[in-house]
Amino acid sequence: MPEKNIDNIDFEVLNKKAISQPLVSHIYTADPSAHFFNGKIYIYPSHDIDAGEAFDDLGSHFAMEDYHVLSMDSIDSEAVDNGIALHVDDVPWASRQMWAPDAAHKDGKYYLFFPAKGYDEIFRIGVAVSDSPVGPFTPQPEAIKGSFSIDPAVFQDEDGSYYMYFGGLWGGQLQRWREGTYNAEHLESPTAHLPKNHELALMPKVAKMSDDLLEFAETPKDVVILDEQGNPLLAGDNEKRFFEAAWLHKYKGQYYFSYSTGDTHFICYAIGDNPYGPFTYKGRILEPVVGWTSHHSICQVEEKWFLFYHDSSLSKGITHLRSVKVSEIIHDENGLITTLKPYQK
């Protein structure tokens, strides 16, 4: 994970030009999954810390230990930090690296979905349950059966079905599951087992959730992303293919699958007519931010739509110390999303 060059950035100037400012600055937060539950905005971010881990291409420096839920009474109000919602020490199966979470609400209960490494060094996805949207959450004793990799995003469809989208390359280990089981060869290499440029890109996964939201109701399937000509994206389509940070929102009956292109630093989207896809690539939602990663969510708050995202402007470019931000996005008359430039007020 090579650092982007930040030597020439004047952060004072950049922060003045930024289209939005960090929602909180007393802690570092990242990977925001935002939801509008019961008339309030809840943001489920990663809680970035500097744990002193060396920087590497497997993301070992993302050594997060807990989650804090942020809440906002309205989009213009201050974000409140509701304290620790879940700590890795309380999750029996998880050893470290509490990465990007998401949440869902069903029948008066709130569900926090989160990836973490098990004691076998393999990323799995767990669930924790609470009566409150801000926790504390009680984890299930085991990870979700059949789960793997990172970055869960749970979408509730209008018919009451819930689907989990997930996956992430390099340190997120998706490429190690190409044959259906975990490939532990060349563990030190983040890029071993990736497809060659002319091969099909690795696709994120989707699975319908069980009624109690604690398990998958089916074996995860590929989320196929097509190019504008209707062909599945290739691994060499670096500026368009999926890397991590899956998200799904529905706008005017269409399903929008959005994601990060990782090492090329874009947030892109593709549109389909059902939750499984295929989804056709449509363009970029967000140009690169300061910091290596880009990770977002899209949330409707009353009549408007908002992009929650992060950057490393507050930490002056430190990749694993990020801050959550929000900016309105526009779907034009054809349903296409206008690209945001993060530093062009």
- Interface contacts to ligand FUB, rule CB under 6 A: 30-31, 46, 62, 99-100, 150-151, 168, 244-245, 293, 295
The encoded tokens of residue 125 equal: 């996805």
Where are the extended beta strands (E) located within 88-209? 94-96, 102-106, 109-118, 123-130, 138-139, 153-156, 162-166, 205-208
Stretch (H or E) spanning 6 = none
Q: Which of 251, 328, 297, 301 lies closest to 38, judged by CA?
A: 301
Instruction: Provide, rounded to whole angstroms, the least separation between the CB of residue 223 and ligand FUB.
Output: 16
Which residue, 113 or 280, has its beta carbon nearer to ligand FUB?
Answer: 113
Q: Which of 31, 48, 151, 311 is catalytic?
A: 31
CB of 311 to ligand FUB, least distance (A): 11
- In the bound state with ligand FUB, the residue whose beta carbon lies nearer, of 111 and 259, is 259
The residue type at 52: G
Return the closest-CA partner of residue 297 out of 65, 6, 46. 46
Residues 6 or more apart whose CB falls under 8 angstroms from that of 12 comprise none
Is 53 in the active site?
no
Q: Would you say 216 or 309 has its CB closer to ligand FUB?
A: 309
Is residue 244 part of the annotated active site? The answer reads yes
Q: Which of 222, 244, 328, 333 is catalytic?
A: 244
Closest to ligand FUB by CB, 175 or 280: 175
Query: Least distance from C-beta 48 to ligand FUB, angstroms?
Result: 7
- Cα angle: 108, vertex 75, 302; to 5 degrees: 65
According to DSSP, residue 262 is labeled G
**Min dist. Cβ of residue 180 to ligand FUB (A):** 23
What is the set of active-site residues?
31, 244
